[in-house]
Structure 1
Amino acid sequence: MTPTAHPLTAPPLTASTPAAGRPTGLLRLATAGSVDDGKSTLVGRLLFDSKSVLRDQLAAVERVSLDQGMTRTDLALLTDGLRAEREQGITIDVAYRYFATPGRSFILADCPGHVQYTRNTVTGASTADLVVLLVDARHGVVEQTRRHLAVAALLRVPHVVVAVNKIDLVGYSAEVYARVAADVQAVAAGLGLPDARTLPTSALEGDNIVTRSARTPFYSGPALLELLEAVPVEPPEAGRPFRLPVQCAIRPQSAAPRGLEDFRGYAGQVASGAVAIGDEVVALPSGRATRVTGIHLDDRPLERAVTGQSVTLELADDIDLSRGDLLAAPDGAPAPTREIEASLAWLSDRPLRERDRVLVKHGTRTVHAVVTSIAGRLDLDGLALVDADGLALNDIGRAHLRLAEAIPAAPYERSRTDGAFLVIDAHDGWTLAAGMARAAESAPAPSGERA
């Protein structure tokens, strides 16, 4: 099977062009790359050179470095906090760090590079505004580089920066950098990331991490921190329709304070957009329309709630709502469906086969499903979907799911909120895959088959 366009992604993402000014606001970023590409060292260097390390933290890292016989401080230890990570010299779990510069605040997820822990990289990148992907200048683009770029494309991470690291170990060679950067661009373009930016770095020596390096005259672009401070980040609620997955219904209590005896509300976290008193909303999957009459944050009334706030909504009509339902803005509300064509990042040692029965968790709703077909898996060399009778650990592929109950899923390319879901083992509750809906359409069930 040779598709004419890349089978797993939406149309190419927008270019990551730094804004002219220095924007404020929070940037969520994740690091990715192969083992020993220097991710933890780069993060440690970024924290150290931006003066975001406390004195006692640095002293502890210096002591550990000396105990391990090193002649210089191992900045990777600022993020590799698990004992097993320090002993093996690899990152195992996602390490989150919080820091700020005069230009911006950051939440940084340092993700593992070993292929065994790709599932953790998917987790770290799933909420990122930007991914910093490291490539060892000596080795160039390898299979894990392709896999991580595919994950970034699949998750539609808005911005991708590729650091061609350890440039000092190739004598700061312009030719080596140009060759690796061209290979990166070719792979990124094939995956729907045609404007991924590249820059030469040495995390160990600090070249082009916080300040521009004189040792790379062939590179005239900004240092990594300059890029991170300048990249535009859209406010969470801007341009996105309101969505609130219902966590629970708050019903009247016999001991309620005077005036609240008839209170009935629906609690949840605003997943996208904003809602105000008087707004029309629709309950899904039932399709019932109503109006918001009250908003409460704890015991405090609000006129308006925005993305990220956990609130309780009062509605004008007494409709049947419970955990798993969705309150949404009427315009563009996703149509409930029992058929999902999905891209899957397979995260489990247990392989996926046709006719497997699983659980699908979409928002707060969990339903039974059956895998009716597997369209194929992504070949990381040819960057095309190839025939496959199943998906194994770390595979990225495509499958068709039939659900026992309808869920309001929309294509992920249109909405990360509406299109994302998890595939879960129905027997032990382990997460099997991160899923992205490609289409939500009705299809007749094959004879004798039900979800």
Structure 2
Amino acid sequence: MVQNEMTRNGKVSVNVGTIGHIDHGKTTLTSALLRVQSEKGQAKYKSYESIAKGGIVRDKNKTVTVIASHVKYETAGRNYAHIDCPGHADYIKNMITGAAQMDGAVLLVSAADGPMPQTREHLLLARQVGVPHLVVFMNKCDLVEDAELLELVELDLRELLREYGYDGEKTPVIRGSAKQAHDDPTNPKAIECVEQLLDALDRWIPDPVRLIDKPFLMPIENVYSIAGRGTVVTGKIEQGMVRAGDSVEILGLKSATATDVITQVESFGEVLEVGNAGDNVGVLLRKMAHNEITKGQVLAKVGTLTPHHEFEAEVYVLKKEEGGRHTPFFDGYAPQFFFRTTNVTGSANVMGGVDMAMPGDGVQLKVTLKQPIAVADGDRFAIREGGRTVGSGVVTRVVD
């Protein structure tokens, strides 16, 4: 019998990922983690080029990550599914998709540069989509000769963590060089920073609580057509369980809800008897073509969810100093709303007898979306316009 990925080797499964500014070394660190653990038989090594596959090649040493890439490795006590998130401002919406799946994150900052614009935006979005815990990796420390400068960068980072609601005092901050660890994976001194990082992940990020007993729900991250097999949709199971033979609905973003049957569930190339909440899986569907499904829809147990156009929400409008708007917005404001793996345009009206929302305000909004999505009370979302995050909110009441 094929056992579930979550328990087959007696270890807890945890979803983590790397976030941070472009060029600070996220993909290099991800590759270094795999290389170091592969030397112990606890990972299959994937090269930098393989992890960054599908990115934009800038030169032989650098590829700009565009989509979130998934890898896995183990420690003595855990299985880690690791998401390497894009850092480039143009691909923040794909970073949101990755962060929405995390139980914890590694915030990576170049010691040579310190915190940068995407560092702040990623922190904000990590907090907004509900990433509960962070570990900080100060990369490229080998390029900084001044020990006092390293101390200043760490102080800046701890202040930044406090600013965005994380524990600035106790959060582990690991110093090192991802490139040195990657290039010399059997050198104890070179890989010490990776060992410290893995230990910090084990200690600082609590075992996640999985919503196994709720109806199956999985936001769709990607859709693939596999020759001779059919359509595969991938994502992290948000709640519930799924197995081959289950009927599911595919809903949101389209006028009609479709129904299909799952014929196989896989995780990192291994067939699962059951996919549980928290697992990153690929689900093979019996009949639907890949062009009938789109990223941002959800798979759900039949009859448990309904797409909606309208909802009310409590929203915080970011100040200019936080990277948000410089001016207020008024009724009819039409930004993009980001939920889970989807983003959709909608119009917002300010409630409570107020006709505008100022940067820095907390306001109640009634939102009407152009396309229906699976949304429920308590769901968190980000508001973006013009390539920047301008607000964050939580649904207080679904209207239609």
TM-score class, shorter-chain normalisation, is 0.5 to 0.7
Whether the 8 Å contact between 1:46 and 1:210 is mirrored in structure 2 is: no
**1:95–1:323 Cα change, 3 Å:** closer
Report how far residue 343 of structure 1 moved: 5.2
Is 1:324 the counterpart of 2:298 in the alignment?
Answer: no
Match of 1:370 in 2: 347
**1:369–1:42 Cα change, 3 Å:** closer
Q: Deviations over 1:225-280 (max 9, x none)?
A: 22234432223127xx8355699xxxxxxxxxxxxxxxxxxxxx9843689xxxxx
Match of 1:3 in 2: none
**1:27–1:244 Cα change, 3 Å:** closer
Q: Deviations over 1:18-75 (max 9, x none)?
A: xxxxx92222111112222111111111111111799xx97xx9xxxxxxxxxxxxx5
User: 2:153 pairs with 173, 176, 180, which one?
Assistant: 180
Q: Over the residues paired in the alignment, what is the CA RMSD in angstroms? A: 5.3
Give the aligned residue type for 1:272.
Q
**1:178–1:398 Cα change, 3 Å:** farther
User: 1:438 pairs with 381, 394, 399, which one?
Assistant: 394
User: 1:96 pairs with 56, 69, 78, which one?
Assistant: 69
**1:339–1:162 Cα change, 3 Å:** same
Match of 1:77 in 2: 49
Whole-angstrom CA distance in 2 between matches of 1:43 and 1:214:
18
Instruction: Give the number of equivalent residue pairs.
Output: 307
Report how far residue 161 of structure 1 moved: 1.1
User: 1:167 pairs with 130, 141, 146, which one?
Assistant: 141
Is 1:355 the counterpart of 2:332 in the alignment?
Answer: yes
> Which segment is superposed worse, 92-101 or 352-361?
352-361
Give the aligned residue type for 2:12.
G
Whether the 8 Å contact between 1:242 and 1:272 is mirrored in structure 2 is: yes
Give the aligned residue type for 1:151.
L
Match of 1:410 in 2: 377
Match of 2:162 in 1: 189
Whole-angstrom CA distance in 2 between matches of 1:52 and 1:215:
14
**1:376–1:434 Cα change, 3 Å:** closer
Give the aligned residue type for 1:39.
K
The unaligned stretches of length 5 or more in structure 2 are: 1-9, 220-235, 243-260, 265-273, 280-298, 351-355
Report how far residue 82 of structure 1 moved: 3.0
Give the aligned residue type for 1:401.
K
Is 1:227 the counterpart of 2:203 in the alignment?
Answer: no
Is 1:142 the counterpart of 2:102 in the alignment?
Answer: no
Whether the 8 Å contact between 1:325 and 1:365 is mirrored in structure 2 is: no
Whether the 8 Å contact between 2:110 and 2:140 is mirrored in structure 1 is: yes
**1:271–1:163 Cα change, 3 Å:** closer
> Map of 1:273-292 to 2, 5 A cutoff?
none
**1:355–1:189 Cα change, 3 Å:** same
TM-score, with normalisation over the residues of structure 1? 0.52
Whether the 8 Å contact between 2:218 and 2:238 is mirrored in structure 1 is: no
Whether the 8 Å contact between 1:42 and 1:76 is mirrored in structure 2 is: no
Q: Deviations over 1:308-339 (max 9, x none)?
A: 797857xxxxxxx686179xxxxxxxxx9842
User: 1:400 pairs with 351, 357, 365, which one?
Assistant: 365
Whole-angstrom CA distance in 1 between matches of 2:118 and 2:342:
33
Match of 2:179 in 1: 204
**1:376–1:399 Cα change, 3 Å:** farther
Whole-angstrom CA distance in 2 between matches of 1:368 and 1:118:
16
Whether the 8 Å contact between 1:359 and 1:367 is mirrored in structure 2 is: yes
User: 2:36 pairs with 49, 56, 64, which one?
Assistant: 49
State the percentage of identical aligned residues.
Answer: 23
Whole-angstrom CA distance in 2 between matches of 1:442 and 1:87:
48
Whether the 8 Å contact between 1:133 and 1:160 is mirrored in structure 2 is: yes
Match of 2:380 in 1: 420
Give the aligned residue type for 1:35.
I
**1:375–1:196 Cα change, 3 Å:** farther
TM-score, with normalisation over the residues of structure 2? 0.58
Whether the 8 Å contact between 1:28 and 1:107 is mirrored in structure 2 is: yes
Whole-angstrom CA distance in 1 between matches of 2:304 and 2:210:
26
Q: Bigger radius of gyration, 1 or 2?
A: 1
Say which SS state the counterpart of residue 341 (structure 1) adopts: strand
Is 1:25 the counterpart of 2:18 in the alignment?
Answer: no
> Map of 1:192-341 to 2, 5 A cutoff?
192-194=165-167, 195-206=170-181, 223-230=196-203, 231-237=205-211, 242=214, 271-272=238-239, 307=277, 324=306, 338-341=311-314
Match of 1:332 in 2: none
Is 1:158 the counterpart of 2:132 in the alignment?
Answer: yes
Whole-angstrom CA distance in 2 between matches of 1:406 and 1:149:
26
Report how far residue 203 of structure 1 moved: 0.7
